[in-house]
Amino acid sequence: MKYVISAPAGRIAAHIQLPASKSISNRVLMLAALAGRKGQVENLSDSDDTRVMIGALSSDKPMVDIGHAGSSMRFLTAYYALVKGQVELSGSARMKERPVGPLVEALRSLGADIRYLEKEACPPLLISGGGLSGGEVSIDGSVSSQFISALMMIAPLLSGGLRIQLEGTVVSPAYIRMTLALMEECGAGGSFDGRRISIPGGHYDFDRYRVEGDWSGASYWYEVAALHPGSSLYIPDLREGSLQGDAVLPALFSALGVETRFSDAGIQISSHPRHFEGRFRYDFISCPDLVQTMAACLCGLGIPFRFTGTQTLRVKETDRIAALIAELGKLGFGLMTDESGNCLAWDGRRTSSVQQPLIKTYRDHRMAMALAPLASLNGALEIDDPLVVSKSYPGFWDDLARAGYRVQEA
C-alpha cells in the first residue's frame, strides 16, 4: 500500500490528540506486572508496541512473538529471566538482527539461564526463569539504554538489590532517569550518577498511574508548524517537566520560530518566520528518536546542520542513518555521515529532486511520519507502507488529514 500526501498552502490550525507515551506505558506495564498486577494504569498508549507488551505479560504460552517491538524484547528478557517458567522469546526478521547480547550476558552473570536459538547475541531466546540473585553487574551503555532499564526494573526484587556499572559512552541517559523516576513513583528507590546505578532490594507498591501524552509524537507537529509559518496547534496531555527525553522539543524548535505555551491541560504551539544564521548543531545522545524529524525539518527549511550522538540509529527499526541519506536524497538533500554513524550532517546545498518521490519507510514508523510533512516542498510525495505508523501513532494519517493535508491511497 502507498499513500499520496499533498500539503496545504499557508498556515495550519488544528487540535491534535496524541497517543499516550509508549516509553512510559511499557515501563509502567512492566512495573505493574512486577508488583503482582495490582493497581490500575490509565491512558495507556494504543501503539502496536504497547499492545504487544500487554499481550506478552498476560500470556501463558510457551512462545511469545513480539514482532518489531524493541523495548518489549529488552524488558521481557529481564522479566522472564526473573519469573519461574520457560519461555521462547522471538520477533520479526529485523528483530532477529538487533543485538541483545549485553543484556543477556549481564543477566547470565546474575544466574539467568538464557540460550540463543539462532544467531549469537540476537533473538530468539530460550529463557528458563527463576534463580536470579542480586549483586553487581557491568554492562556496555553504548548500545541501548533499554538494556539498563530492563535490569533496573527487576533489581528491587533481587536479593540484596543490584548495582550496575555502566561502561563506554552512555546513550539515552534521559530514559534511564525516566525509568528510575517511574520506579520511585511505584515504591522502589535508587540512585544514578551518570556511570553507576544503585538499587536496593525491596518491592513495588503500585496503585494507580496515568500516562501522559507522547512527546515523540509531538515532534511531527512541531515540524509541520515550522514548515508552515503562521500556524497554531493545540496538543493536550503534554506537560512541562516531563520525564520524557523528547520533551526538549520546545527548546529545539524555538530557534526555528516555533513557540510553546504550557497550560495545565496541554500545549499551544505557534510558528512565525525566523531567519537562522549558520549551521544548526545538536547532540542527540539523550533523544535519538528526534533525529529523523529534525533532519527532515531542517532540510525543509534550508538550514544546514551537524548532529552528533546518532550512533544508536544504526540498530533501530532499520539503519536510520542509511535510510535518511537514501530518502532525503530523493528530495535533493545530500546528507553525510562518518563510519561510526556518530555524526549526521547536511551542508545546505540541494540538487534537483524527483517529482512526487516515493519515500520508503523500511518498516520504520518514524521514517513515515518525519518525512510526510516534506510534501510541502514538491507539492506531493508518496509514502510506501504507510500503516507502519501503528507501531507508535496509529491515528497519525487521520490527524494529518484533519490538519489540512490531503492523504489518499495511491
Give me the catalytic one of 48, 65, 214, 289. 289
Q: Which of 194, 210, 226 is the last residue of a domain?
A: 210
Coil vs helix vs strand at 223: helix
9 and 62: one domain?
A: no
3-state secondary structure of 383: strand
Strand 406-409 and strand 2-6: the pairing is: antiparallel
Cα dihedral 50/253/258/236 (nearest 10): 20
Query: Of the candidates 176, 210, 244, which is a domain's last residue?
Result: 210
Q: Tell me the CA end-to-end span of the chain in Å, nearest whole number.
A: 7
pLDDT on residue 4: 98
**Number of domains observed in the structure of the chain:** 2
Domain enclosing residue 350, as ranges = 2-20+212-409
Instruction: Enumerate residues 6+ apart whose C-beta is below 8 A from 277.
Output: none
Task: State pTM to two decimals.
Answer: 0.92
- 238 and 201 in a common domain: no
Domain identity same for 226 and 300: yes
261 and 346 in a common domain: yes
Q: Is-contact 269 223, C-beta < 8 A?
A: no
Given the DSSP bridges, would you call strands 358-359 and 380-384 parallel, antiparallel or unpaired?
parallel
289 is catalytic: yes
Question: Do 104 and 226 belong to one domain?
Answer: no
In a shared domain, residues 374 and 255: yes
Report the distance separating Cα 78 and Cα 179, nearest Å. 14
Q: With 0-12 CB in 10 A as exposed, 13-18 as middle and 19+ as buried, what is 58?
A: exposed
Closest CA to 4 of 395, 390, 384: 384
Nearest to 371, CA basis, from 214, 224, 218, 213: 224
Residue 354: what pLDDT? 82
- Is 16 in the same domain as 26? no
Residues 181 and 233 in one domain: no
Same domain, 82 and 172: yes
**Domain shared by 275 and 299, yes or no:** yes
Q: What's the confidence (pLDDT) of residue 331?
A: 96
Q: Which of 210, 240, 266 is the last residue of a domain?
A: 210
Residues 65, 23, 204, 58, CA torsion sign = negative
52 vs 306: CA distance, rounded Å: 36
Same domain? For 198 and 258 the reply is no
d(CA 179, CA 173): 10
Same domain for 206 and 225?
Answer: no
Contact 343, 306 (CB under 8 A): yes
Nearest to 99 by CA among 112, 85, 116, 84: 116
How, if at all, do strands 358-359 and 343-346 pair? unpaired
Q: What angle do CA 397, 399, 400 make, to 5 degrees?
A: 65
Question: In a structure prediction context, what are the per-residue pLDDT tens digits for the chain, which is 410 residues long?
Answer: 999 999 999 999 999 999 999 999 999 999 999 999 767 899 999 999 999 999 999 999 999 999 999 999 999 999 999 999 999 999 999 899 999 999 999 999 999 999 999 999 999 999 999 989 999 999 999 989 999 999 999 999 999 999 999 999 999 999 999 999 999 999 998 999 999 999 999 999 988 899 999 999 999 999 999 999 999 999 999 999 999 999 999 999 999 999 999 999 999 999 999 889 999 999 999 999 999 999 999 999 999 999 999 998 987 778 999 999 999 999 999 999 998 889 999 999 999 888 899 999 999 999 999 999 999 998 899 999 999 999 999 999 999 999 999 999 98
Phi, psi at 298, each rounded to 5°: -65, -35
User: Cα(397)–Cα(408) distance, rounded to whole angstroms?
Assistant: 10
Question: What pLDDT score was predicted for residue 315?
Answer: 77
CATH number of the domain within which 164 lies: 3.65.10.10
User: CA-CA distance, 275 to 270, in Å (whole number)?
Assistant: 16
